[in-house]
Amino acid sequence: MYDISRRGFMGAGAAFFAAAGMSAQGAEKKEKIQGFDERDAGKLEGKKWEPFSDKKVRVGIAGEGFCSFGSAFGYQTCPNVEVVACAELDAGKRKLLQERVKAQKAYASCEEMIKHGAEDKLDAIYVATDARSHIRLAIMALEHGINVTTAVPAFLGKDQLEFVPKLLDAVKRSGKIYMMNETTAFRPECYAMRKLYENGKFGAITYTEGEYFHPGGNDVDAAKNLPHDHFSYGAWRWGLPPQYYPTHSNGFYTCVTHKRFTEVTCTGVASLKFPYRAEAKNEYGNPYGSEYAMFKCEDGSAARMLVAWDNPGYGAEMGRIWGQKGCYVPEKGGYCGWFADEVKKDASYLKPQLAPGMDLGGHGGSHGYLTDDFVRAILLKDHKVCVDVIAALNMTLGGVYAHMSAMKGGETLKIPEVTL
């Protein structure tokens, strides 16, 4: 019997350490978290950064959990931002977050920060709390007239589907910006794919692939000998169905084409590594360590999107796209595909320079670009964010329906369309 109590974990943990070929006592060091050391944004366009506004957006930041994501997106180094407030439930992390982002005020919860939004003249908040709270906090911010961006995913699983129309309604009624910080969107390869797509280079898209292989449980807390899933707030990562975290793979289609998935069939593979997953003894009733989805897409193309907690990664989030006129296939150590040379020669396929001193952050140097995108959209009337509410929901919905398909033995499911 495995549950998320400490006693329950120790059974599962013993099996994990045995499978990993080490004793529980032997797991001394905390391994690095995949994606965080990828701070290279790739080759940049080379043009000097041009100031675009003399205004500053007044921002509040919530959440400094296991990944320290609140402080990792460069708000504190962005010349068009004033970090007015921050919020964390945990007092120690709140202090850290406040120091790191140099916030003037610190609140005991994101809800409190939103309630004081008018008093603090908050223009925007960035929600880096646990995945389960994103959509509820985003709706609350919009209802208070505050622009919002959240970490991924937009919402967590089948149980939160009811929030989807509420989020769309809040965006429509507030007229404010909702964005999701999908890091894939500003990886250099995805950026190039999007530009090639917008320039019509691919012709009609025929096929896309994306993978997010993140071997769970490899990030071991040295002091407590527990995989980091255990420490996620409310244990939201514990037994998480892989396709409930689908945005890093689905992003290679959605953040390029801005089109949606219409149908899905998905194969779930039982977790061999973690008994607490394999026996579905988790709050999600999830037995799978890997979920491999095939989607039909709005433009008639197909997409094969994989999320796995059990497979060793071979890089980070990766993806490639094919069209009738050509393909773009980034590989480790270089690029192949028809447009590889064009992307090398034409600087407009490369990411632009960020403001001097602005922190790029990890995941392909994408963090700073997501912050820049959000801030520009608030300050400039004609700037639209890449990952808007429709893109965020399409990426997330695709995965949630993929998991539902896997649980039904791969039955093909139609994915609902969301509109504003």
DSSP string, 363-412: TTTTHHHHHHHHHHHHH-TT---SS-HHHHHHHHHHHHHHHHHHHTTT--
Is 262 near ligand NAD (CB under 6 A)?
Answer: no
Q: Could you give the 3-state DSSP secondary structure of residue 334?
A: strand
Among 38, 120, 123, 130, binds ligand NAD (CB under 6 A): 130
Q: How far is the CB of 244 from ligand NAD (least distance, A)?
A: 10
Q: How far apart are CA 307 and CA 296, in angstroms?
A: 17
Q: How far is the CB of 91 from ligand NAD (least distance, A)?
A: 10
Angle, CA 316 vertex, CA 195 and CA 250 arms, to 5°: 55
C-beta separation of 251 from 210 below 8 A: yes
The amino acid at residue 31 is E
Among 35, 241, 242, 268, binds ligand NAD (CB under 6 A): 35
Of the pair 83, 152, the CB lying nearest ligand NAD is at: 152
Of the pair 340, 370, the CB lying nearest ligand NAD is at: 370
- Tell me which residue has tokens 């290679």: 252
Q: How far is the CB of 113 from ligand NAD (least distance, A)?
A: 8
Stretch that binds ligand NAD, among 122-130, 277-285, 394-402, 410-418 (CB under 6 A): 122-130
Is 221 near ligand NAD (CB under 6 A)?
Answer: no
The closest residue (CB) to ligand NAD is: 65
How far apart, in Å, do the first and last CA atoms of the chain sit?
45
Among 9, 16, 38, 63, binds ligand NAD (CB under 6 A): 63
Is 283 near ligand NAD (CB under 6 A)?
Answer: no
Of the pair 91, 272, the CB lying nearest ligand NAD is at: 91
Under rule CB under 6 A, which residues in 163-202 are in contact with ligand NAD?
183
> Nearest 5°: phi and psi at 402?
-60, -45
Is 157 near ligand NAD (CB under 6 A)?
Answer: no
Angle, CA 308 vertex, CA 305 and CA 311 arms, to 5°: 125
Under rule CB under 6 A, which residues in 325-364 are in contact with ligand NAD?
363
Q: How far apart are CA 402 and CA 39, in angstroms?
A: 31
Cα distances (angstroms) measured from residue 228 to each of 102, 114, 155, 176, 236: 27, 29, 21, 35, 11
Parallel, antiparallel or unpaired: strands 302-308 and 318-323:
unpaired
Is 67 near ligand NAD (CB under 6 A)?
Answer: yes
Among 131, 196, 205, 340, binds ligand NAD (CB under 6 A): 131
Binding mask 359-398 for ligand NAD (x = CB under 6 A): ----x-----------------------------------
Closest CA to 154 of 398, 392, 403: 392
**Residues lying near ligand NAD in the complex (CB under 6 A):** 35, 62-67, 69, 87-90, 93, 109-111, 128-131, 133, 151-152, 183, 232-233, 363
